[in-house]
Chain A
């Protein structure tokens, strides 16, 4: 790993420095720069006809970083954070519910053939129905403005989590169950000591997908029937012809979505120390 040869930095190498000056960060920045450069060139320099209505890179940046934004939303306005907060709260509630219910149902479907036979066919019929198709039912079933939106985000997340959890249980090698039986564990002990930890890698892979799907459905739901929130911002910006704000909303979603995904991943790595160490051993 490259260490800076700049004379000002007479510091011992440590992880942070090697991350800052390592090639990984450079590649990531180069990737982003290429993407932004394409945007800039396509809209402002070459003025491609397809992108004639698109706000340019610097228009958006100027607006986003403007203490007194033309269209009302920037890093400096309180309203911006209200919308972010509103979306985040909804995702948090929906994701938490979906995880608790999804993991439980998935574990039971994996563990008990009977439960699986009762539930799985219905589950698989409902799963392919697009989230937006549930909007009318959601509005009919739930009063208020928040609940339908949270319900729709919950639903998408729930299906992903349940399926991955169930497959996680399926993935556990038969030998572990047999070993536990030989060693005298009863059913409940096998469930706690083999099923749950054995399914964890799959569960966390599922949760990372699930949080993404949760955001996706939330934004879609907010566009249709919400008040406040990033999806709402994007939709109203379009109808009110505030195009730079659309991009601001999208970029914000990108950052927040990435952050929540990373949090799920970090929690997973923390809980599965055994896997991290195993992977470290095989890579070194």
Chain B
């Protein structure tokens, strides 16, 4: 049973440019994510969900409230900005595999830079993790030579090499076509099955959210806070046939109205992308 990776977001407030335009991106947002849970954050573009992820990761500061990881404060009163670290690793929207390093150098980057493993040990671990994820044989290729689906999976392996408590995914499959996406979803659940890391996954795709997550939080348009939080009680392991099940369709009905409402509000307000 996983015990690491419990996130407690409490009353978080984020205001961009407080002395100037004062745009409130996050308004007293509170959310609890249990250890080992897959929590999907669904919301319209520009609502502030990436800001929340960046606050957990340590790329942005917050102006109010606090975020705790496993009881320890990441950011909050007295410490506005968390320090980025390998306990919370981000997989970026457009991919951030270093194009100038080949796959094996990318994947071993974390442990080698931190001095946790020697290069040889890291390579061994990388090879076995990649084999587990069905990615053998590409270790000497450069990211530019690989398809975007493969790149994403390599990036997730790169993150998992560091045994993080939390995996922060910022719309990682947004740029992929829907065929590749469905394969990615099953691959992610397979990886989750083997690693049971807490996943904080941002998406605007409701079906993706309901398929992958066990907790789904639907966020309001900017400034964001959870509008509706529900638990998806479909058991793991899930495969794509689940999408046509009665329970799944019930959940879609329950949630799509809420999502659509927020999307309309956001559209009317003319949000900026992301």
Contact = CB atoms under 8 A, between A and B. Distances in A.
| A, B: real partners | yes
Interface of A: 173, 175-176, 178-186, 189, 193-194, 197-198, 200, 272-275, 277-279, 281-282
Nearest to B116: A184
B114 interface: yes
A184 B100 contact: no
Contacts of B159: 182
Contacts of A179: 90, 92, 96, 98
A283 to B, nearest CB: 12
A183 B89 contact: yes
A282 B113 CA distance: 31
A281 B98 CA distance: 17
Interface string B230-242: 0000000000000
Q: Interface range on chain B: under 10, 10 to 19, 20 to 34, or 35 or more?
A: 20 to 34
A272 B100 contact: yes
B162 interface: yes
B57 A178 contact: yes
A189 B142 CA distance: 20
A183 B162 contact: yes
Contact of A183 (B86, B94, B99, B143): B86
A183 B113 contact: yes
A59 B77 CA distance: 85
Interface string B127-164: 00000000000000011110000000000001100100
A178 B92 contact: yes
Given A182-B84, A184-B162, A281 B144 contact: yes
Contacts, number: 83
A178 B86 CA distance: 11
Nearest to B54: A178
B226 interface: no
Interface of B: 57-59, 84-86, 88-90, 92, 94-96, 98-102, 109-110, 113-114, 142-145, 158-159, 162
Contact of A274 (B59, B95, B142): B142
Contacts of B102: 274
Contacts of B109: 180, 183, 185, 193
A274 B100 contact: yes
A181 B84 contact: yes
Given A183-B162, A197-B100, A281-B144, A175 B94 contact: yes
Contacts of A189: 113
17 contacts: A178-B59, A178-B96, A180-B113, A181-B84, A182-B57, A182-B84, A184-B86, A185-B109, A193-B98, A193-B109, A274-B101, A274-B102, A274-B142, A277-B142, A277-B144, A277-B145, A278-B99
A194 B86 CA distance: 17
Contacts of B88: 182
Contacts of A275: 99-100, 144
A278 B109 CA distance: 21
A193 B159 CA distance: 17
Contacts of A181: 58, 84
Given A183-B109, A184-B85, A176 B98 contact: yes
